[in-house]
């Protein structure tokens, strides 16, 4: 008999303060990573304060660790926030479906992330960068409310180093600082100005609902992306991650099992319950 709710303990290898309230936590189990695929998520907990759902934010190909990024917002996340390097985090997973890279191979890729939504994007993006030769042109567009809210500031340059890879970072109007050299504008607006074509391309979009809504529209209507080539993730509230607790379903779909990754086409067929 196996207790599916029993977590494993992972050790915190490193904590990266991304913004004032967001951190990336790098974990290891037995000195290495676990098997997961980009887009999947896990249930993480500081034991005693409750479990929370986070997507993995690192590339599964980087075997020495696995990562997630979180914003401190409630009881569980505040608990996790208080941990230090060397402390243990309880972890269950990986759960859910994933970004199907077989359908992305050989194509141009557009990664669009907004705010904390960049976390799951980073995972698939770095995965593709790790196997850079398998894909065509890669465009990365990442935006946040203000410069202070940008995650992963330290590694933008790393992404840029890859061949045929464009990295565009933007902040919402008003969120710029005097020394800001990136773009200023909402993600969907900046996206619209990019010379992207829908053919032979796949777009991966994650972020706040409003951003997703407009980004999908631009990609579809202005750039001619096929709906099945626009991929995003849902973040419905979930507890078990195992398709039992009854919280995450959208229509007949269990986001924890059948998701969290969906194409725009799939989303279209779902009732407006997310």
Partner 1 sequence: MSRIGVFVCWCGSNIAGTVDVEKVREEAAKIPGVVSALDYKYMCSDPGQNSLRNIIKEKNLTGIVLAACSPHMHENTFRKAAAKEGLNPYFVEIANIREQVSWVHEDKERATAKAVDLMKMMVEKVKRDRPIEDVRVPLNKKALVIGGGIAGIQAALDIANGGVEVILVEKEPSIGGRMIQLDETFPTLDCSSCIMTPKMVEANQHPNIKLYTYSEVEDISGYIGNFKVKIKKKARSVVEKDCTGCGECWNACPMHKNVKSEFNVNLSERTAIYVPFPQAVPLVPVLDRSVCLHFKKGGKCQKCYDACGPKCINFDLQDEIIEETVGAIVASTGYDLMDTSMYGEYGYGKYKDVISGLQFERLLSASGPTEGLIKRPSDGKTPQTIVFVQCVGSRDPEKGVPYCSKVCCMYTAKHAKLFAHKVHGSQSYVFYIDIRSTSKGYEEFVRGTMEQDGAIYLRGRVSKIYEDEGKLIVKGADTLSGNQVEIAADMVVLATGVIPKKGSDKLAQMLGISYDKYGFFTESHPKLRPAESSTAGIFLAGMAQGPRDIPESVVSGSAAASKILGLFSKNEYEVEGTIANVNEATCVACFYCQRVCAYNAISKKEIKDRSGKLIKVVANVNPGLCTGCGACVNACFSKSIDVKGFMDDQIYAEIKALAV
Partner 2 sequence: MANTKTDEKLQKIAKDLLESGEVSLVIGYAKGSNLQRMRPVFITKAEDAGKLSFNPHAVQDLAVFLKKPEVKKFGKIGIVVKGCDEKAVNALIQEYQISRDNIKIIGMECNGVIRQSLADKGETNLSESAVYDKCLICEEHIPVLYDFLIESEEPKLVLSGNVKPYSGIEKLESMSAEEKNAFWAKEFDKCIKCYACRQACPLCYCSRCIVEKNMPQWIDTNSEETGNAQWNLIRAYHLSGRCIGCGECERACPVNIPLMLINEKMAKDVYNMFGYKSGLDINAKPVFGVFSESDFNDFIK
Partner 3 sequence: MEEKYFEISAENLKKFVDSIIADNFEVIAPTDKDGGTFYGKISRFEEANLDILLPKMSYKEYLLPKTETLLEYSFSGVDTEIKDGLEAVAGANEKRVIFGGRPCDAGAGPIMEKVFNWDYKDEFFNERFKNLTIVSIACEKPDNYCFCTEMQLSPESSYGSDILLKKAEGKYFAVVTSEKGLNLIEPYINLFKETAKAQVPADKDWKKLFEIERTKSFLDKNFEHNYFQDRFLSCIGCGVCTYTCPTCHCFDIQDEGNLKEGRRIRNWDSCQFGVFTLHTSGHNPRVTQGDRYRQRLMHKFKIYSEKFDKYLCVGCGRCSRNCPEDIDIKEVAKDLADMA
Alpha carbon separation from 120 to 173, 182, 227 (Å, rounded): 25, 22, 20
Q: Kindly report the CA angle at 25 between 103 and 163, in degrees rounded to 5?
A: 45
Among partner 1, ligand FAD, partner 3, none, what binds residue 260 when CB lies within 5 to 8 Å by partner kind?
ligand FAD
**Beta carbon nearer to partner 2, 82 or 164:** 82
Give the one entry of partner 3, ligand FAD, partner 2, none that residue 87 binds, where binding means its C-beta sits below a cut-off of 5 to 8 angstroms depending on kind.
partner 3
Does position 73 interact with partner 1 (CB under 8 A)? The reply is no
- What is 191-210 written as a DSSP string? HHHS---STTEEEEEES-HH
Q: Which residue, 21 or 176, has its beta carbon nearer to partner 2?
A: 21
142 binds, among partner 1, partner 3, ligand FAD, none (CB under 5 to 8 A by kind): none
**Residue 72: CB minimum distance to partner 3, A:** 10
Query: Which 207-226 positions form the footprint of ligand FAD (CB under 6 A)?
Result: none
> Can residue 90 be called a binding residue for partner 1 (CB under 8 A)?
no
- Which of the residues 40 through 59 are near ligand FAD (CB under 6 A)? 41, 50-55
Q: How far is CA 272 from CA 48, 114, 199, 249, in A?
A: 35, 22, 28, 11
Of residues 80 and 109, the one with the C-beta less far from partner 3: 80
The one of ligand FAD, partner 3, partner 1, none whose footprint includes residue 81, by CB under 5 to 8 A per kind, is: partner 1
Per the structure block, which two tokens stand in for 176?
A: 């710029």
Edge to edge, the sheet with strand 165-171 lists 183-184, 165-171, 138-144, 108-114, 201-206, 230-233, 261-263
Given a contact cutoff of 8 angstroms between Cβ atoms, the answer to whether 180 and 169 are in contact is no
**Taking CB positions, which residue lies at the least distance from ligand FAD?**
74
Query: Is 260 among the residues that bind ligand FAD (CB under 6 A)?
Result: yes
Minimum CB distance to partner 1, residue 84 (Å): 6
Q: Contact at 8 Å (CB) between 70 and 80?
A: yes
For 118, the token pair is 């960049």
Q: Which of 3, 49, 5 has the alpha carbon at shortest distance from 241? A: 5
Which residues contact partner 2 (rule: CB under 8 A)?
A: 50, 74-75, 78
CA distance 222 to 34: 40
Q: Which residues contact 65 (CB under 8 A, 6 or more apart)?
A: 13, 14, 26, 27, 28, 32, 33, 58
- Exactly one of 28, 146, 236, 263 binds ligand FAD (CB under 6 A); which one? 236
Among 81, 170, 201, 233, binds partner 1 (CB under 8 A): 81
In the complex, the residues that contact ligand FAD under the rule CB under 6 A are 41, 50-55, 68-71, 73-77, 116, 119, 235-236, 238, 260
């Amino acid at each position: 008999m196996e207790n599916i709710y029993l977590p494993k303990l992972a050790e915190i290898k490193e904590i990266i303060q991304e913004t004032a309230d967001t951190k990336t936590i790098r974990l290891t189990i037995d000195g290495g990573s676990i098997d997961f695929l980009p887009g999947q998520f896990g249930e993480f907990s500081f034991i005693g304060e409750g479990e929370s759902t986070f997507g993995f934010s690192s590339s599964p190909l980087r075997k020495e660790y696995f990562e997630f990024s979180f914003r401190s917002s409630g009881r569980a996340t505040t608990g996790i926030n208080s941990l230090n390097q060397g402390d243990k985090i309880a972890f269950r997973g990986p759960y859910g479906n994933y970004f199907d890279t077989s359908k992305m191979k050989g194509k141009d890729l557009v990664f669009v992330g907004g705010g904390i939504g960049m976390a799951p994007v980073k995972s698939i993006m770095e995965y593709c960068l790790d196997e850079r030769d398998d894909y065509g042109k890669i465009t990365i567009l990442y935006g946040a409310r203000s410069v202070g809210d940008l995650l992963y500031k330290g590694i933008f340059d790393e992404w840029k180093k890859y061949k045929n890879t464009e990295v565009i970072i933007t902040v919402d109007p008003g969120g710029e600082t005097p020394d800001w050299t990136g773009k200023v504008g909402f993600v969907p607006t900046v996206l619209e100005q990019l010379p992207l074509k829908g053919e032979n391309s796949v777009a991966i979009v994650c972020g706040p609902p409003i951003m997703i809504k407009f980004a999908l529209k631009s990609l579809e209507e202005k750039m001619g992306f096929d709906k099945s080539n626009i991929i995003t993730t849902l973040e419905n509230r979930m507890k078990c991650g195992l398709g039992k607790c009854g919280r995450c379903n959208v229509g007949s779909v269990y986001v924890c099992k059948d998701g969290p990754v969906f194409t725009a086409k799939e989303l279209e067929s779902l009732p407006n319950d997310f």
